[in-house]
Amino acid sequence: MEQTYNSLIETTTADYLDGIDMDLIPSPTTIEAELLDIVNREIRIYNMGPEDPNVPANASLKDSNCSEPPWGTN
């Protein structure tokens, strides 16, 4: 079954929170910023396919992905 955006956000958030070191809890602002970055990256990967690690960081979004979107192309 295909993952929904809601479940993607839920699992990404749960994984992030599970990984927090309880002896070194980051500030709420840091948690928010990191979680937004991670969730946005996961949504981009969901929509566009995984990023190509060989593409420069300043490449366009289209050029930074190494595969077709999950739904294919026409």
Query: What does the block give as tokens for 60?
Result: 């366009």
Q: Please identify which residue in the block is written with the tokens 């993607």.
A: 8
The answer, yes or no, to whether residue 65 has pLDDT greater than 80, is no
pTM: 0.64
The answer, yes or no, to whether residue 35 has pLDDT greater than 60, is yes
- Chain centroid to CA 42: 2
3-state secondary structure (DSSP) of residue 32 = helix
Query: What does the block give as tokens for 48?
Result: 């566009």
Q: Residue 74: its pLDDT value, please?
A: 44
Query: What does the block give as tokens for 35?
Result: 């979680």
* Dihedral over Cα of 53, 55, 58, 61: its sign: negative
Residue scoring higher pLDDT (36 or 58)? 36
Q: Which tens digit of pLDDT belongs to each residue from 46-60?
A: 887 777 778 777 776
Domain ranges for the chain, please list them: 5-64
